[in-house]
Amino acid sequence: MVNTELKESNPQPKSSKASNRFSWLWTDYSVIIAFIIIFIAASIMSPRFLDINNQMNILMQVSIIGIISLGMTVVMLSGGIDLSVGSVLVLVGVISVLALNASGSIFVAILTACIVGSFAGFLNGLMVAKGRIASFIATLGMMAAARSIALYIANGGSISGKVSGFTAIANSDLWIIDYPIIIFLVMTVLVYVLMHKTRFGRYVYAIGSNEKAATLSAIRVDRVKLAVYSLVGLLVSVAAVIETSRLNSISSSSSGVSYELDAIAAVIIGGTRMTGGKGKILGTFFGVLILGILNNMMNLMNVSPHLQGFVKGLIIIVAVVFQKRE
């Protein structure tokens, strides 16, 4: 009787229940809700937005940054960051084109790209895990070094492929879906499974949440970090092959510029915390799409390209403010 009276005398207000339910919904699905709102707004503001060719164009434009963002998500979940992705992409592109021209084999070029990118990522991981260098500093050094080597090899210019068929990687399609879009979607699924369905993914989350606790739990933190940065390098290699194949060339001076900022923006918008341990691959996927829609809308509305960076910066700040309130 006493318990019944207590329950009846302290009922939870309906408004409080609704508030808790909405709070849970917003916390877990805020990026999807934001994507739907922005998509609807874009559809109303421009009749050309919903055109199927425009939709495919958006997906095509975000495919390279999307693949890089998947890797950036993994490293940020571990509590680190990788500022070298843009420069490593250029270095991978330059060396893979040289391998393509020297061997005449597309397979050799792709294999070379994967080896170079993974090795660059491995070096980043080595500096962070074994050298105990902060990831910001280690990858900043790699960013400068990789770009410098690419500029030296290409004499500050561009290098073009001389093998027919290489451009088919980025310029062919399956029905109406271009190969880069398919590759981006496949990579998203693979990284999602890796991070949310495997022991490796659980270890990355554990390290990002509390590295000392992860070490005490017998997790080989150094090995996991090496794998994390190597994975980022491998995903950058995939993006580099697409970037190079699209124009059948790579510019050592202009390609990959600010890619790291776009990737970080997509990851933060997707809900991954800078401090690590919290975030989802699905969130990054929608974060990439949100950036793509915003860029597309600004182009359709003839917004000056000089102001587009301001909009991205504002969105990043807003996303971080919302994260702190959770």
Give the model confidence (pLDDT) of 100-144 as tens digits.
999 999 999 999 999 999 999 999 999 999 999 999 999 999 999
pLDDT in the model for residue 275: 85
Token couple for 127? 């500096």
pLDDT in the model for residue 8: 43
pLDDT in the model for residue 7: 45
The answer on pLDDT for 308 being more than 80 is no
pTM over 0.85: yes
Give the model confidence (pLDDT) of 205-227 as tens digits.
999 999 999 999 989 999 999 99
Could you give the domains of the chain? Answer: 55-325 (1.10.3470)
Q: Tell me the average pLDDT across 285-296.
A: 92
The answer on pLDDT for 6 being more than 50 is no
pLDDT in the model for residue 173: 85
Give the model confidence (pLDDT) of 73-99 as tens digits.
999 999 999 999 999 999 999 999 999
